[in-house]
Amino acid sequence: QFPFGRRLPCDIYWHGVSFHDNNIFSGQVNKFPGMMETVRKITLSRAMRTMQDLFPLEYNFYPRSWILPEELPLFVAEVRMMKDSNPSWKPTFIVKPDGGCQGDGIYLIKDPSDIRLTGSIQSRPAVVQEYICKPLLMDKLKFDIRLYVLLKSLEPLEIYIAKDGLSRFCTEPYQEPTLKNLHQVFMHLTNYSLNIHSGNFIHSDSVNTGSKRTFSSILCRLSSRGADVKKLWSDIISLVIKTIIALTPELKVYYQSDIPAGKPGPTCFQILGFDILLMKNLKPMLLEVNANPSMRIEHEQELSPGVFENVPSPVDEEVKVAVIRDTLRLVDPQKKKRKDTQCLLYPGVADGKLQLKPVKIQVKYGMKDKQHKHRSLKLSLKLKFYLKLGSCQSSEQAPEASEELPDAGPEPDAPRSPEAALPSLCLKQVFPKYAKQFSYLRLVDRVAALFIRFLGVKGTTKLGPTGFRTFIRNCKLSNSNFSMAAVDILYIDITRRWNSMGIDHKESGMCLQAFVEAFFCLAQKKYKSLPLHEQVASLIELCECRLAALRGKRLVWGCG
């Protein structure tokens, strides 16, 4: 650890909050630029809505959402229309502040008029969603699942899912929402940071009981009831892949801005926390994605009034140690360089004993870390401990619900290597393993590639009017019915509207989400009789084909 920096570069930089905690020019960083912005509740809801417009059936795992305050009139109108068409419909909605975490500011309402229209809604935008009233219960309690997902690479896209996760329980028996119980947070909200303050919260040394348990223990109970656990896992894997496909276009724009192609720079990976709720019929629903999931493996216990002690949490150790350990195994630079001088904090074997090799991991501190002391502290003090503890768990059994990976390690009679003494990988690759099943969903990814191509100035995330006109000209999208004057009007109208929503005023121009809307508008004008996803796919192919032809002509001219 080098809190004040070091002269020699490191192989891995472990940042506490974001990619920008410190300036890094080489190695690997455990954060993607723009990830915190991309998974915020409003940005995530917009990305999921775009995919729901294209593929409504494939993205029905995300609740219907409205963005406040800009969509408040739309929210009121749609709820009124749905109630008029179905008088027996008695919905409940959940309001979540955009930048909130740990359950802060979340509340339930039965009618749009119940939204707290104070000055804070303007200064602190929010998302309002349909509340899932019929969740799966265990011991009469509502619970959610925290799954850990490793995004190892953006290009090519590489995703791993941990074979086990955490189940976080409410602390009061669940009842469907009524006006009387709407404010009972210990009944309706599964946030650990809220329920830990309940007198009913149970800290357990067992992974099968208490208010926090392993997901594998829940799967075992479901399996004993005859539930199809394999299908449930398949649905969860599909949910994770589809969600990351929805997020990658925005991430790629941020990535090229901070790490331009063709220039030396760091590569990135990141552990994400997916919060998933199971419905009564075992359908998984995405609640949110956390860019900085807690990796704490202990909890505070009050010994006497005002006196607290950190006590180990076996459930957290069971899941989180394996995630950290295997993330470092997967991004280990030694696998590429194979040099003795290269080193990661990595369990090795010497004289039949597990030992730790020298370290070139740097835990970085920055101004943002001071604002998140609990995150920095747990990272800087626990990182080595995670790996030491992980190296001591070589006899650990894989969760019952998980399946062994083919690259789990050599056969017992093979020559011993550092990985031979470690448990099998708890992280299962799901992409590109299942790429063929999901590649048709990556339309917005291809639209983002066009957007990035015409950005012009490296390091920017917004498209200027000249870049947009160049895109239209090069792809030959203007004609007698759609003049360049109409192109300018389209650019101005959409850009002005998105800028009025308060989206990143640091730069002027058209953001990716605005460009996607403009692209969809162009596709609908050109291919009127097709469904939206076919319209967009057809326009993408047309643009890619014309740009490839233009590039070929330029190569010929260059040779001439």
Residue 48: which H helix or E strand, with range?
helix 41-54
Looking at residue 421, its pLDDT comes to 62
pLDDT of residue 203: 87
Percent of the chain with pLDDT over 70: 76
pLDDT in tens, 216-259: 999 999 999 999 999 999 999 999 999 999 999 999 999 988 88
Statement: residue 442 has pLDDT above 90: yes
Task: Judge whether residue 402 has pLDDT over 70.
Answer: no
Determine the Cα–Cα distance for residues 287 and 231; give it in Å rounded to an integer. Answer: 20
- Greatest Cα pair distance, the chain, in angstroms, is 85
Are 514 and 495 a contacting pair, CB within 8 Å? yes
User: Is the confidence at residue 272, as pLDDT, over 90?
Assistant: yes
pLDDT at 94 over 50: yes
DSSP 64: -
Q: Do 299 and 203 meet the contact criterion of CB atoms below 8 Å apart?
A: yes
Cis peptide before 156 (omega within 30 of 0): yes
Per the prediction, the chain carries an average pLDDT of: 82
Higher pLDDT, 434 or 120: 434
Examine the pLDDT at 436 and tell me if it is beyond 90: yes
Nearest residue to 98 via CA among 71, 125, 67, 123: 125
Bridge partner list, 300? 310
Residue 261: pLDDT band (50, 70, 90) is confident
Predicted confidence (pLDDT) per residue in 518-527, tens digit: 999 999 999 9
Q: How high is the pLDDT of residue 401?
A: 43
Q: Which two tokens stand for residue 427?
A: 């992280």
Task: Count other C-beta atoms under 10 Å from residue 375's C-beta.
Answer: 18
- Residue 372 CB-density burial (10 A; 0-12 exposed, 13-18 middle, 19+ buried): middle
Q: Which of 2-6, 26-30, 139-143, 437-441 has the weakest average pLDDT?
A: 2-6
Q: Per-domain residue ranges for the chain?
A: 12-22+133-335, 441-555
For 89-177, where are the E strands, in sequence order?
Answer: 93-97, 107-109, 126-130, 137-138, 141-153, 158-162, 166-169
Residue (of 86, 79, 85, 84) closest to 65 by Cα position = 79
Question: Is 12-22+133-335 CATH 1.10.260?
Answer: no
| Range name among 194-203, 273-282, 413-422 with the lowest pLDDT average | 413-422
Residue 116 pLDDT = 76
| Contacts for 57 with CB less than 8 Å, ≥ 6 apart | none
pLDDT at 339: 43
pTM metric for this prediction: 0.84
399: DSSP letter? P
Contact between 233 and 402 (Cβ < 8 Å): no
Structure confidence at residue 425 as a pLDDT band (50, 70, 90): confident
Q: Write down the pLDDT at residue 367.
A: 38
Q: Which residue has the higher pLDDT, 149 or 100?
A: 149
Comparing C-alpha atoms, which of 404, 178, 453, 214 is closest to residue 315?
214
Q: Band of the pLDDT at 1, cuts 50, 70, 90?
A: low
Mean pLDDT, residues 474-480 = 91
- Mean pLDDT calculated for residue range 65-75: 92
- Binned at pLDDT 50, 70 and 90, residue 362 comes out as low
Instruction: Give the per-residue pLDDT at 18.
Output: 72
Instruction: Report the pLDDT value the prediction gives residue 352, as an integer from 0 to 100.
Output: 40
Render pLDDT for 147-190 as a digit per residue (tens, 0 to 9): 999 999 999 999 999 999 999 999 999 999 999 999 999 999 99
**DSSP H helix total and E strand total for the chain:** 19, 20
**pLDDT recorded at residue 228:** 95
pLDDT surpasses 70 at 355: no
pLDDT bin (cut points 50, 70, 90) of residue 342 is very low
Residue 115 pLDDT level (bands cut at 50, 70, 90): confident
Residues 227-259: b if buried by 16+ CB within 10 A, e if exposed: eebeebbebbbbbbbbbbbbbbbbbbbbbbbbb
Determine which of 310-314, 328-332, 407-411, 554-558 has the lowest per-residue pLDDT on average.
Answer: 407-411
70 within 8 A of 501, measured Cβ to Cβ: yes
Whether residue 65 contacts residue 79, with contact meaning beta carbons closer than 8 Å, is answered with no
Q: Is the pLDDT of residue 340 over 50?
A: no
What are the angstrom distances between the C-alpha of 322 and each of 126, 167, 329?
35, 16, 10
CB proximity list for 257: less than 8 A, separation 6 or greater: 33, 34, 458, 459, 460, 461
More confident residue, 294 or 10: 294
Q: Where are the beta strands (DSSP E) in 200-269?
A: 212-214, 267-268
- For residues 288-315, average pLDDT: 84
CATH classification (class only), 441-555: mainly alpha
